[in-house]
Amino acid sequence: MAEVLLFHHAQGLTEGIRAFADRLRQAGHTVHTPDVYDGNTFPTLDEGLAYARQVGFGELRERAVRAADTLPAELVYIGFSLGVLPAQQLAQTRPGARGAVLLESCVPPSEFGGSWPADVPVQVHGMDADPFFAGEGDIDAARALVKEAVDGELFVYPGDLHLFTDSSLTTYDADAGALVAERVLDFVNRR
C-alpha cells in the first residue's frame, strides 16, 4: 500500500477533500492531509483566495512543503488546485517520490527549477473549459508535463467547472468526480 500526502485547494480542507482522502484510506493507503489554512474553510473560491492572499501564497506553499519533513521520502503527492503547487514541487524536488496526481491545476516543471523527474509517474485531471485549468494555460502545462514524463497521463473532462472533484462543493460534478476518483485510486494502487 502507498503512503500519500494530499493537499487541499483554496477553499480549505473541506468535507469533500476529507472524503476523497477517506476513500484512499478505505483502499488500505495511508493518507496525510495537512491543513495549511489552520482549520479555516470558505464557502466560495473568492473568499478562499482572499484568505490565501492575506496569509501569502508563498507562506501557504511553504507550510505545505514542510508537512513532508517528518514523513518518509516514498510518497505519492496529490494536490487539488492550489494544492497542486506543493504537490508538484515535492514530486519534482524531493527524492523518493512514488508518483503525483495533479487535480485541476498544473504549472510548467521549470517553475520548480528543472524538468519532471523521469522516474516519477504523474496523472493530471481537469475540465476542458475550466476558466482556471483551460483558460489560464494549466492545460498546456499539463500536456507538456505528461509528454516529458516517462509515465504520464492527462485526463480532460467536458465542462467548465473548477473544483469539480470536491463532493462538498456546489461545483462538484458527480459523474466526472467519480471517474477521477476511480482513476486516482487505480494510480495510487499501482504505487
Per-residue pLDDT tens digits for 145-155? 999 998 999 99
Q: Which helix (H) or strand (E) holds 17?
A: helix 15-26
Cell numbers placing 22: 477517506
- Give the pTM: 0.96
Tally the domains of the chain.
1
Q: Could you read off the pLDDT of 19-66 as tens digits, one per residue?
A: 999 999 999 999 999 999 999 999 999 999 999 999 999 999 999 999
Which CATH number goes with the domain that contains 83?
Answer: 3.40.50.1820
The DSSP bridge pattern shows strands 99-103 and 76-80 to be parallel
Range of the domain at 36: 3-189
